[in-house]
Amino acid sequence: MAAKRKPSPATPSTQAAAPRTADETRGQGDELHQQAGGEHPVLTTNQGIPVSDNQNSLRATPRGPTLLEDFVLREKITHFDHERIPERIVHARGSAAHGTFELTKSLAKYTTAKILTEVGEKTPVFTRFSTVAGGTGSVDTPRDVRGFAVKFYTKQGNWDLVGNNIPVFFIQDAMKFPDVVHSVKMEPDRGYPQAGSAHDTFWDFVSLTPETMHMIMWAMSDRTIPRSLRTIEGFGVHSFRLLDAEGNSTFVKFHWRPKLGIQSTVWDEAMKLQAADNDFHRRDLFEAIQAGQYPEWDLAVQLFTEEEADAFPFDHLDATKLIPEELVPLQVIGRMTLDRWPDNFFAETEQVAYCPANIVPGIDFSNDPLLQGRLFSYLDTQLSRLGGPNFHQIPVNAPKCPFANLQRDGHMQMHVPKGRVNYEPSSLQADSPREVPDGFRSHGTRPDDGVKGRVRAESFADHYTQARLFFRSQSAIEQAHIASSLVFELSKVETAHVREAIVGHLRHVDPDLSRRVADGLGLDDLPPAPDAQIPPQDMPPSPALRIIDRMRDTLQGRAVGILVHDGSDAATIKALRKAVEAAGATVKIVAPKLGGAKLSDGKRLPADGQLAGTPSTVFDAVAVVLSAESGKLLSKEAAAVDFVRDAWGHLKAIAFDAGAQAVLKAGGVGKDAGTVDAGDAKAFIQAAKVRQWDREKKVRMLA
Which residues are marked as active site? 91, 164
Between CA 267 and CA 144 the distance in angstroms is 12
d(CA 589, CA 564): 7
Respond yes or no on whether the N-terminal peptide bond of residue 425 is cis (omega within 30° of 0): yes
280: amino acid identity, one letter: F
Helix or strand or coil: residue 134? Answer: coil
Phi then psi dihedrals of residue 95, to 5 deg: -135, 145
Residue 574 burial (10 A CB sphere; 0-12, 13-18, 19+): middle
254's enclosing H/E stretch is strand 249-258
49: nearest Cα among 441, 580, 378: 441
Please state, in angstroms and rounded to a whole number, the distance separating the CA atoms of residues 128 and 258. Answer: 15
Amino acid, res. 264:
S
Radius of gyration of the chain (CA): 27
The residue among 435, 458, 378 whose CA lies nearest residue 80 is 378
Torsion of CA 50, 53, 59, 61, to 10 degrees: -120
Nearest partner of 365 among 88, 126, 90, 160, judged by Cα: 160
User: Which one, of 617, 568, 620, lies nearest residue 592 by Cα?
Assistant: 568
User: Which of 50, 130, 70 lies closest to 96 in space, CA to CA?
Assistant: 130
Burial 37-57 (b: 16+ CB within 10 A, else e): eeebebbbbbeebbbbbbbbb
Whole-number Cα distances in Å, 58 to 52, 71, 93, 501, 505 = 12, 9, 33, 30, 29
Query: Torsion-angle region of residue 218: left (phi > 0), alpha (psi -120 to 50) or beta?
Result: alpha
Please return the burial class of 294, using the count of CB atoms within 10 Å of its CB with bins 0-12, 13-18 and 19+. middle
Q: Compute the distance between CA of residue 214 and CA of residue 223 in angstroms, rounded to an integer.
A: 13
E-strand stretches of 375-466: 445-446, 450-451
Q: Identity (one letter) of the amino acid at 486?
A: L
